[in-house]
Structures are given as C-alpha cells and as structure tokens.
Structure 1
C-alpha cells in the first residue's frame, strides 16, 4: 500500500530544500555584485609601482574644489584645485635630515591651509617598528598656504627625536577645528608612544596654525602592552563637535576607548571603554599572512551632533566592518551595525576601513577592502558604503571591479576617505598588476600603487 502522505511530505521537504538552496545561490550572487558608486572615477596617483601604502585625503571646507592626498613613503603629495578633474604631484617632505617618513595624515585648518603630519627618523634612527629596537624617530608637520601646491621647506617638530633608546612614536593623526566654536583654528595630534615595557597615548595641540606645539600630555588612563599587538594602546582618531568639543578614540586591548576635551585640548576626561571588541589584531589570510589592526575612527554630523564610530573585528568568524552611533555626546552608544552588507559568517574578509561624515548632509561614508566576490577569500576589491539614516543601515557600492592580490607586499593598515556636499574621495593601496605567472622565472612579488576614487551622490 502506498503511503500518499509520506510521499507528499517527502516531496514538500525536497521542494523546501531546493528553494533553500536556490535562495542561498541567489544571495551569494547578489552579495558578489554591487551597484557602481554614482559618478565613480578611479585614477592612479603613484607615478610607478613602489612600496606605497597608508594613504590619506582631505577636502578644504573653505573651498571644496581643493583636495590633497598623501601616502608613505617619500613625502609625495597630490593635489587638485578643480574638484578632482586634474591632479598634480609635488614633494612635500624635505629630506635634508630624515631617513624615511610614513604614517601620514592630512587636514585643512579653518583658514584653508593644508597640514601634513608624519613620522620620520633622523640619521641615527632605524626603520625597525618594534619599540625595543627603534630609536630616534619623531613627529613632524608641514603646512601649505595654497591648497597643496607649495609646502614649507622646514618641517616643524611636534615630538622631536630624542636620545633615549627603546622609544618609538607611532601612527600620529591630525585633527583640525574648523568649527565656529571657541577653539576655531586649533590643530590636534594624537599618537602612540611605545616603550620597552608599555605603550601610552600622547597628545599635542597647536593654537597658531601649526607653528608651535604644546608639550605632549598623556591622555590614556592606563598603559597598554609594549608592542603592536593585542593589548597595545594604539590607533588614535579624533573629531571636533560644533561647539569645539574634541572627541578622541583609540583601541586598548579588547575595547575601543573614548576621551573628551572641553577646553581646546588642554585637558581630557579619563579615557574609558565604550565598545567591546573580540580583539584589536586579527590574522588575515594574504596581506602577507600577518595580523592586521581594526583601528577605530570617529566622526560627527555637525547639524545633528550625532557621533559615528567604525572599526573592524572578527566576531563573525571573518573580518567585518562595524559602526555604532551616539546622540548624547558619547555617553551611550547604539548596538553595532554591520557595514558590509553581504551575508555574515560567509568566510569573506573586509578590512582597512576608514570613515568620513559629510558635514553638509550628515551622511556617513566608509571605504574598505572587500573580498566578498572571491570564494577563496584571497583577492580584494574596494567598496564604498553609505548611510543616509544616521548609521542604522549602510548601502554598499563598488568602487573597483578588477581584483588585486594583497598577498606579497605590505599593504599598510588603513585606507583614507573624505566627503563634502555629496562629493566623496577615497584613497587606497593595491598590488600593482603583473602579467608573469606566479613563481615563474619572470615573476617577482608585485609592488604597490596608490589609487584614488571619486563619487558624486
């Protein structure tokens, strides 16, 4: 006797499984195909492949047609005076007494001056990164009064190299107060100082456009570990609110911490944890098979006073980009929102994010390396994410479609982005194309290039 009910149940189960498989296939296909960024254009900034990485970009709020971009190493700056239609390259960093420069950051002050910040070593220095091997490096700034065309021939030391061994200054980041608050025109720089047995976050400010800088003060409440590793105090970023309040964040072990200044950088609230993360560093296949950082960024929407934070971590079993927001000055924060809009737990990494909030619209933009299109989780493209609802959701757009292989060269630790009036500029590092078959006699590890993307929303 035929069990009709059993046959129907079996058929229904088979249909459900088929529909589920179809849904997964469609989801995978949709996650690998993104709409192009509106009005996108991509150019290569570097003249030839080299060892370029960790680029930065800034827009002049006094004249948004002026844009500057920089990258390590070599002190090269590219500028545009026509909203990105044409670009020119200049050497901004004099090499009279410094061996290398890196960890660049850029800002425009309230008067339209471009400020370049970087680290460099003197002739007694070393290129070694680790604190217990590195000596005599410092933090310097230079200024351009014409939007990046010409730069000072003499750099100003924020933290000059010292004779003490086993001290290393790392990853300075510059912030400008271009608000109409009481500290308009101030410049701020925060960075990590590594010692043999600990790390700490230091801070300096300038009230004269970068000509002189205050003696560094410590703004981290507790010490971190002495290396670029889990437990270190590292990854400074900052933003200025409409009334001159300075918000600063960095990563301290398994927490993102916040410290706030209400007096133009003279003093800070004790740094305290605001977001818990699984780890500061995480292993990523490729990218020289090394640990990479999930550095946080912070930005503010001036009209709504909404604070945004972005970072990356490994909570889903792969590296994803996350965002959180605060509407009460950083006292409380929303639950994390995943910025990359592909399926969670899919084994595809997304990293090297950077954040910018358009001061005219309050829209948030995030750039990141994206591996969603590669089932092997090896090749990467560049994705731009945008939130128009205060960080509740993010829509992803493709900035590049041709993937690159980040396995064989140092790709840096971050990308850069800036947005103003719907115009978005992003900068990133790619492995230079190579036509030789891998591991053949003609093959060599590819060099890197720095590229710049533009979009118009």
Structure 2
C-alpha cells in the first residue's frame, strides 16, 4: 500500500509538471502595463495584445514569439487604457483614450481596426464625443451571433475633481458595421459616482454577451459592485441597478511597492 501511494503521488506530480506552459515575455520595453490580449477564434495562431500607453504586440505562432509596434492615430492620438478584441470575421480592434489635435484630452473613445495580413491599422473611428466631459476606462465585446460590437466606459463631468456637483456615469455605445460607425452614447447606470477617480467613482464597466444576445454589465462605485442588463441590443436598460456585493474598503486600495492598485469587476457569461 505504501508503494502504491508513493507511486501515485509521483505520477500526479510528474503529469502536473509536464503540463505547465512556458511563460513567454512579450515585451519589457516602454514600461508596459494595463495589458489586454485576444486570440482570433478562426485562427488560434493569431494573437494581438496592447499595453499602455500606445504599445501593440502581434503573434502569428500562437504566442511563442511577438512583434512590438507603436500604435499611431494622426487624428485622435493614443492616450492609453488599451482594450483589444476580435470579431467573428477575425478582424482585431484596439480601443483606447484620446488626445486629439483638434479637440480636447479624453473627449472620446477611439477604435482602431487591424489588418492582420498587411499588419496595418486604420486611423480610427470614435464614440462618445463630448469635449466638455472626460471619457475613460472603456471596455468592449463582440456578439458572436451578430458581430455587433458593444463598448462601455466611464464619463467624468470633470476628471479628478472633488466638486460635489460633478458626477461620473457609465455610458454605452454599439457598432453594427464592424466599427465604422457608432450609436449615440447612452447612460445605463442609476446611481452616479463622484469624479475623484477612487472608491466612490463608478468605474470598471465591462460588457458581456449572453447566449440569447443579452448584454450584461457590472461595475464598481459608491453602492459597491452593481449590475445592469439589456435584452434588446442596448436599446433599453433596467431602471434600477442590481446590487451584487459590497466592497469593503472600496475598489481603490494601496499595496506597498505598487503605484496604483484597483479592484474592479470583470463581467463574463458562459
């Protein structure tokens, strides 16, 4: 019995060790952080990733090797918060914040589309244009049944201010033509947050698509983690946010040695 037990443990350890995937350093240039990565479901060898402030990375061998590039948008500039997604046709999209030549800092959410074959990016389209407010912390998802792109983000009346008359809200927009045009942004949250960019600010809105086309979004803010949904492609949303969980200590917290640490939700649907 002792011999059998020892042999079994050895075999489990052996198979566990051989199942480990080799870590691959994508890049350590330009102090990359806030990474985003996705894979083409039509060709799993194709991966694209992004990292602050304007870095992108491409792999054509399943992630074993990578090529780094600098994302450029002549019209809108590239101001961070990368979100990389891929649609049902295998086209990649890189969402980010703006700092345009003609406009104001954070006045819109920008989407640039990638041609994998030619390794080129479009100059970008945008949603949520509002030069009097600040658009931040976007995230996007594709409906695999319709190829519609959904994006949510935080709009600040004035980023960073503690003025109690200024608010933050969660906005939503969609594209039904592969990112060429976008619907007008609509507010989906019930309870607004402040503009401090901390615990009582509404942030971390990540959309997910359900099996019947439902859109689910959760975010953090003064009410803790809350949730909203749409069953008609984002045309209408619940009147009241659904409470999920309290967040003791808030979502903005300190860890020694780390400049900034946020505990924001990510929405998924199986």
Shift of 1:89: 2.5
Contact conserved, 2:109 with 2:135, CA < 8 A, in 1? yes
Alignment match of 1:52 (pick from 28, 32, 51): 32
Separation (CA, whole Å) in 1 of partners of 2:120 and 2:211: 30
Cα RMSD over matched residues? Answer: 2.3
Task: Check if 1:190 corresponds to 2:146.
Answer: no
Alignment match of 2:97 (pick from 119, 124, 130): 119
Residue 235 of structure 2 corresponds to which residue in structure 1?
266
Alignment match of 1:169 (pick from 121, 124, 135): 135
Task: Check if 1:211 corresponds to 2:180.
Answer: yes
Counting only pairs closer than 5 Å after superposition, residues 28-427 of structure 1 correspond to structure 2 as 38-46=19-27, 48=29, 50-74=30-54, 76-94=55-73, 96-123=74-101, 135=105, 137-146=107-116, 149-152=119-122, 154-160=123-129, 162=131, 164=132, 167-178=133-144, 180=145, 184-196=146-158, 197-270=166-239, 271-278=241-248, 279-288=250-259, 290=260, 292-301=261-270
Contact conserved, 1:77 with 1:148, CA < 8 A, in 2? no
Q: Per the alignment, in what secondary structure is the counterpart of residue 43 of structure 1? A: coil
CA 249–91 in structure 1, closer or farther in 2 if over 3 Å, else same: same
Which protein is richer in strand relative to its size?
Answer: 1
Separation (CA, whole Å) in 2 of partners of 1:73 and 1:36: 36
Contact conserved, 1:254 with 1:276, CA < 8 A, in 2? yes
Contact conserved, 1:137 with 1:161, CA < 8 A, in 2? yes
Residue 381 of structure 1 corresponds to which residue in structure 2?
none
Separation (CA, whole Å) in 1 of partners of 2:91 and 2:57: 15
Contact conserved, 1:81 with 1:147, CA < 8 A, in 2? no
Shift of 1:296: 0.3
Contact conserved, 1:65 with 1:80, CA < 8 A, in 2? yes
Separation (CA, whole Å) in 2 of partners of 1:151 and 1:249: 30
Shift of 1:161: 5.4
TM-score (norm 1): 0.50
TM-score (norm 2): 0.83
Deviations 1:285-324 (A, max 9, x none): 2213x5x3210012122xxxxxxxxxxxxxxxxxxxxxxx
CA 169–36 in structure 1, closer or farther in 2 if over 3 Å, else same: farther
Deviations 1:374-410 (A, max 9, x none): xxxxxxxxxxxxxxxxxxxxxxxxxxxxxxxxxxxxx
Deviations 1:229-274 (A, max 9, x none): 1211111112111211111111122411111111112222232211
Q: Per the alignment, in what secondary structure is the counterpart of residue 63 of structure 2? A: coil
CA 36–91 in structure 1, closer or farther in 2 if over 3 Å, else same: farther
Separation (CA, whole Å) in 1 of partners of 2:118 and 2:232: 30
Separation (CA, whole Å) in 1 of partners of 2:222 and 2:83: 24
Separation (CA, whole Å) in 2 of partners of 1:37 and 1:258: 40
Give the unaligned 5+ runs of structure 2: 1-15, 159-165
Separation (CA, whole Å) in 2 of partners of 1:116 and 1:98: 13
Paired residues, number = 246
Residue 7 of structure 1 corresponds to which residue in structure 2?
none
Larger Rg computed on CA atoms: 1
